[in-house]
Amino acid sequence: MTDLDLDFVRARFPAFSEPSLAGFAHFENAGGSYACGQAIEWLDRYYRQTKVQPYYPFPPSTKAGEQMDSARARMAAWLNVGTDELHFGPSTSQNTYVIAQALREKLGPGDEVIVTNQDHEANIGVWRRLGSGGVVIREWKVDPVTAELHAADLAALLGPRTRVVAFTQCSNVVASINPVRELTDMVHRAGAWAIVDGVAACPHGLPDVQALGADIYLFSLYKVYGPHLGAMTLRRELNAELPSQGHFFNAGKPGARFTPAGPDHAQIAAVNGVMDYMDAVADRHGCDGQPVQAQAAAIRKLFHDRETALLQPLLDFLSGHPGVRLIGRDRAAERAPTVAFLAEGHASRDLARRLSEFRLGVGSGNFYAYRLLQALGIDTDDGVVRASFVHYTSEEEVGRLIGALDALL
Ligand SMILES: Cc1ncc(COP(=O)(O)O)c(C=O)c1O
């Protein structure tokens, strides 16, 4: 394995050769990444050639179904789950909503659900609403200074009535990588299910979901170079145990039980494009011929090493600036390159606007991590400034961001 070939990578994202985006540096990747060319091509091809109802015997229909099936199979293999364990819905928020409806039928008064205040609201609010049916909601709180979650605090909340624990692999504001396997082991020892939000982690490398031990694992493909789609893995046994949320006559079909909205066929087919991109990067970096799990692990390391090297100078700048409050850790290796901060004397909204004058795309606000900002004593309206990148970001772009911040702060 060599260093990431940045030219190869950037050549696969049409945004980098799009004239209207020339000179613009994208630092709102945690909101949504650029789409890789392969995903765009699959979408385009689907709409041109196979935009019919899939799974009938006439050729375009059969082909449409085959494309959807291959997308599911390829991504499931990469994630190390069964093909029947991967589900696509409109978004992660929609996927958690549907599972919450199933849990509402399954859990009774006195059962306990643990949520954090570090998560995006998509992995909090739906579970909290189960409280109206008598389910007891317990909150696993962050340390109000470091914004970190501590396993010991979870241990104190787990009990004989705990049925579900929902937490994040990586917060979209704090960005530390939580020790998912350690936590899912704790949850399972307590006899509960672990629901893990991987949305902020996956753009930095798709995981081995089995190794993480999550019963339900969620992420959003529009942040992983693909179409606007939510992906959810659901352990086979749990699928069978939870009440179906689909049409009654489909209750025997595992793939139809938790996607009542009906999948977007073209977007599912376009997941093939994300997998084509992963395969191309793997091949380019000497992984061709290796088992898929080895390729996935190699890509995770490749992205992580690249992002860590780019991230450290930005963290050094922010943590060394007397007027800046950096949220989360200052060691790049321990976190994702999603960097939230406050700058003394600058409203976050204003600073993001000033940065846009440098042709830097940076966001501000609470990013739906509303409860986290409350816990940290941060104004939830103005929120934080957040600069986030992925492996395709260049050193020059990060240098421009640091330069602009230096000029403005
Ligand atoms: C960490 C995290 N979880 C969940 C979500 C919700 O994802 P979706 O937009 O697919 O509903 C987001 C969206 O930004 C997120 O950042």
Chain centroid offset of residue 345 CA: 32
Determine if ligand 1 sits within 6 Å of the CB of residue 93: yes
Distance of CA 374 from the midpoint of ligand 1 (Å): 18
Nearest residue to 381 via CA among 389, 373, 372: 373
Distance of CA 214 from the midpoint of ligand 1 (Å): 17
Distance of CA 172 from the midpoint of ligand 1 (Å): 8
Atom of ligand 1 at shortest range from CA of 197 = 3
Phi, psi of 332 (to 5 degrees): -60, -35
- Tell me what pLDDT residue 2 has: 66
Determine if ligand 1 sits within 6 Å of the CB of residue 29: no
What is the average per-residue pLDDT within 41-46?
A: 98
- Tell me what pLDDT residue 262 has: 82
Distance of CA 93 from the midpoint of ligand 1 (Å): 7
Determine if ligand 1 sits within 6 Å of the CB of residue 117: no
- Tell me what pLDDT residue 263 has: 83
What is the average per-residue pLDDT within 209-233?
A: 98
Question: Looking at the predicted structure, is the pLDDT value of residue 287 above 80?
Answer: yes
Percent of the chain with pLDDT over 70: 100
Question: Looking at the predicted structure, is the pLDDT value of residue 1 above 80?
Answer: no
Determine if ligand 1 sits within 6 Å of the CB of residue 244: no
Tell me the best of 124, 178, 220 to mutate to test the pocket of ligand 1, counting ligand atoms within 8 Å of each CB and taking the most: 220
Question: Looking at the predicted structure, is the pLDDT value of residue 298 above 90?
Answer: yes
Tens-digit pLDDT profile for residues 382-403: 999 999 999 999 999 999 999 9
Helices 37-49, 59-79: inter-axial angle, 10-degree rounding: 160
Distance of CA 199 from the midpoint of ligand 1 (Å): 6
Closest residue by Cα to atom 7, ligand 1, is 92
CB 49 within 8 A of CB 63: yes
Distance of CA 122 from the midpoint of ligand 1 (Å): 6
Up-side HSE of residue 253: CA atoms within 13 Å toward CB? 10
Question: Looking at the predicted structure, is the pLDDT value of residue 349 above 90?
Answer: yes
Report how far apart, in Å, the C-alpha atoms of 2 and of each of 36, 202, 284, 349 are.
Answer: 22, 21, 10, 40
What is the enclosing helix (H) or strand (E) of 233? strand 230-234
Determine if ligand 1 sits within 6 Å of the CB of residue 388: no
- Tell me what pLDDT residue 261 has: 84
Task: Tell me the residue ranges of DSSP E strands in 94-204.
Answer: 112-116, 136-140, 162-168, 193-197
Tens-digit pLDDT profile for residues 135-189: 999 999 999 999 999 999 999 999 999 999 999 999 999 999 999 999 999 999 9
Determine if ligand 1 sits within 6 Å of the CB of residue 278: no
Cα distance between residue 384 and residue 381, in whole Å: 9
Determine if ligand 1 sits within 6 Å of the CB of residue 86: no
Tens-digit pLDDT profile for residues 65-105: 999 999 999 999 999 999 999 999 999 999 999 999 999 99
Overall pTM > 0.85: yes
Determine if ligand 1 sits within 6 Å of the CB of residue 125: no
